[in-house]
Amino acid sequence: MHVLVTGAHGMLGRAVAAEAEARGWVLVPLGRTDLDITDLTAVRSTLREHRPEVVVNCAAYTDVDGAEEHRERAFLVNGLGPRNLALACREMNAELLHVSTDYIFDGRKDGPYGVYDDPCPVNVYGASKLWGERAVTSLTARFYIVRVSWLFAPWGKNFVATMLRLGRERERLRVVDDQYGCPTYAPDLARLLLDLIATRCYGVYHATNQGVTIWYGFARAIMKQAGLPARVEPCTSADFPRPARRPANSVLDPFPLRETVGYLLPYWEDALERCLKEMRKEGLL
């Protein structure tokens, strides 16, 4: 398989590139300095040069709070970028796997969100990602849209890394306890994404590690598994105001993921244990 990965230096892109390389796939890993996906001419030129069978789009503007102030940039990267990739993939007869987010939902549903539940984002980031989804589905038929949530890895900026840093610096941490979701380990997700590509079953999917928690519960598990003494205390979202609203419930129902690839990802607690083990191995913990 010949795969081109955008956002290859980011948290998920790095994991996808490593997984593709481990499988012996022909890999073209491109960071933001290698390819600006908001430039259609550059996208077309790059795909004509490399002629990949599939493009995995991990490039994204992921600063949820920053998107409120930098709306145009968020829509350029998260909306126009996927549109450009979809157009170029259609012209080159290539497949496109586009990574989206749980934040396209408003969080008001009582229960997990299915792949065909109506989106209704409550912040600019979610709106920009939804724009990208709709661009992809309207411009090409050979697509996989995979919505993920609460992504973490041994590298990059993410909740686990932040909690570990704060847990070393402070005796007491306050973490919100009224937002529910599913933590997702980037290396686990990368393996699943490439397995999904191998099925050739196009469509929309939800992919997270199994298990539901709140940010407070996630933080407590991090402290416990890392052996840090910091005390984690619950607070409400109202106690911790931020520029962008977050959905209270962004739990994603994986159906029909198991029916397509044959398995679901491990539980998030197991993934967290493996993440911390890798961080210790690399001297990051």
- State the catalytic residues: 125
Distances (CA, A) of 187 to 74, 192, 203, 275, 285: 25, 9, 22, 9, 18
Q: Measured between alpha carbons, how far is 218 from 228 in angstroms, rounded to an integer?
A: 14
C-alpha distances (whole Å) from 235 to each of 113, 115, 140, 174 are 25, 31, 44, 6
Q: SS3 of 5, please? A: strand
String of DSSP letters for 109-177: SSSPBPTTSPP--SSHHHHHHHHHHHHHHHH-SSEEEEEE-SEE-SSSS-HHHHHHHHHHH-SEEEEE-
Count of beta carbons in the 10 Å neighbourhood of residue 259: 9
Query: CA-CA distance, 264 to 91, in Å (whole number)?
Result: 33
